[in-house]
Structures are given as structure tokens and as C-alpha cells.
């Protein structure tokens, strides 16, 4: 039985194409596939390989794993290749985030040692790019950098965030992250208190 608010593959592909204001014929030409085949995909009478699906997603500016996560669970159950691709991508993303967090914590520890301080300055500029990272993991990553305790992490549970900051003070970057997660960050010494954003 289809899940509420979940899409079938064809519907998801058609919506992604229409959001980019592309015609079936233009997409088919650019990818070297038949327009009739693309029509069958959008009508759920043909199922593209993972390779073709990735090409379509790329043409539509959509990440393949994000599209697959929007699909009805039954679609993934029936298509082992899609399920395997999604699981592999999610494992890689988790490993990348874990590696990034380790590198960032090590860099903070090293800078604190080199500067002869126990904690890194929260006003020191940071550059960081996070793409669809779990809200709690993102908050923890920033907190590790500032070596601060964060209260109210539960307010961002189940949310994900994308953020890119380049050479801005850590505390401003943290506040921007909190805002994107729908919370407000208040700093008090070595503690950051998250609270619901009133806006």
C-alpha cells in the first residue's frame, strides 16, 4: 500500500523535470535517450537503470539519493538496485560527516595547543560546507569546534540542514546554522542554549 505523501518514480521524475521547465524532448536529446522512453519512465511503465536515473537527476539538478528518499517504500522494495544505491550513498555521507567531524575536532585541539589556550576563540573565522546534514550532527560539529556545551539539541532532531560559511566568525556561523534549523542560539560562557525561533 503506498505511503501518504510519498511519490511513485514516474511522478517524481516528471515533477523534477517540470520544476526545471524542461520538455521531455529536450531532456531526451541532451541525454541521448528516446523521448518515448522518458515518457514511459514518467508514466511508470518503464524503470530506468541507476545510471540513467543518475543522468536524469543530474539534468534536473536533483541529487539521486534525495529523489529516492521521496519515493514510496514499495518502489525501493521492488527495485534492489535503487535500494542498494540509496544505502551506499547514505553510508558514504555518514562516513564523510564522521570524518569531517573528526578532522574539525582535531584541528580545534591542535589550534588550542599551538595557541596555548584550552579553547578556540568563538570569534575566529571558519570556513565550512555542510550539505543535507542531520541537524543534531551539525550542531554537535559546530559545538565541538567552539568546545561548548549545547542545550536544547532535541529541538533540531529529525531536521537536516545545508549551509556554506566562508571566513566568518564561528559564533555568527553557529547563529546562522541555528536560524536555518528554526532555532535561536544564545551564548552564555561555555554554554549555548537553543530555543524555538519566534520568527
pLDDT in tens, the chain (199 residues): 444 457 788 888 899 899 999 999 999 999 999 999 999 999 989 888 888 988 998 898 888 877 787 777 777 777 777 778 777 776 776 656 555 555 554 454 444 444 444 444 566 777 777 777 778 888 887 777 777 788 998 898 888 888 887 788 878 888 888 999 999 988 887 788 999 987 6
Which residues, 6 or more positions from 106, have their beta carbon under 8 angstroms from its beta carbon? none
Q: What pLDDT, on a 0 to 100 scale, did the predictor assign at position 43?
A: 93
Instruction: Using alpha carbons, select from 134, 120, 178 the residue that is nearest to residue 152.
Output: 178
Domains of the chain from N-terminus onward:
9-78 (1.10.260.40), 89-196 (3.55.50.30)
**139 touches 157 (CB < 8 A):** no
Q: What pLDDT, on a 0 to 100 scale, did the predictor assign at position 113?
A: 42
**Burial of 112 from C-beta contacts in 10 A (0-12 / 13-18 / 19+):** middle
Q: What pLDDT, on a 0 to 100 scale, did the predictor assign at position 122?
A: 62
Q: What pLDDT, on a 0 to 100 scale, did the predictor assign at position 118?
A: 43
Q: What pLDDT, on a 0 to 100 scale, did the predictor assign at position 167?
A: 80
Three-state DSSP state, 193 = strand
Q: CA Rg, the chain, in Å?
A: 21
Q: DSSP label at 197?
A: -
Q: What pLDDT, on a 0 to 100 scale, did the predictor assign at position 24?
A: 94
Q: DSSP label at 121?
A: -
Amino acid at each position: 500500500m503506498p505511503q501518504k505523501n510519498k511519490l511513485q518514480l514516474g511522478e517524481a521524475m516528471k515533477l523534477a523535470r517540470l520544476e526545471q521547465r524542461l520538455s521531455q524532448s529536450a531532456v531526451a536529446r541532451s541525454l541521448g535517450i528516446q523521448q518515448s522512453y522518458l515518457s514511459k519512465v514518467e508514466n511508470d511503465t518503464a524503470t530506468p537503470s541507476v545510471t540513467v536515473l543518475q543522468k536524469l537527476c543530474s539534468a534536473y539538478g536533483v541529487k539521486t539519493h534525495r529523489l529516492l528518499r521521496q519515493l514510496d517504500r514499495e518502489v525501493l522494495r521492488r527495485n534492489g538496485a535503487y535500494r542498494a544505491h540509496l544505502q551506499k550513498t547514505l553510508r558514504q555521507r555518514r562516513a564523510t560527516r564522521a570524518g569531517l567531524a573528526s578532522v574539525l575536532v582535531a584541528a580545534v585541539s591542535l589550534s588550542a595547543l599551538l595557541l596555548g589556550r584550552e579553547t578556540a576563540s568563538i570569534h575566529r573565522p571558519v570556513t565550512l560546507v555542510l550539505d543535507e546534514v542531520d541537524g543534531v550532527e551539525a550542531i554537535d560539529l559546530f559545538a565541538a569546534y567552539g568546545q561548548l556545551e549545547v542545550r536544547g539539541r532535541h529541538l533540531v532532531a529529525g531536521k537536516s540542514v545545508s549551509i556554506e560559511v566562508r571566513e566568518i566568525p564561528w559564533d555568527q556561523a553557529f547563529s546562522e546554522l541555528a536560524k536555518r534549523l528554526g532555532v535561536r542560539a544564545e551564548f552564555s560562557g561555555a554554554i549555548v542554549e537553543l530555543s524555538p525561533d519566534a520568527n
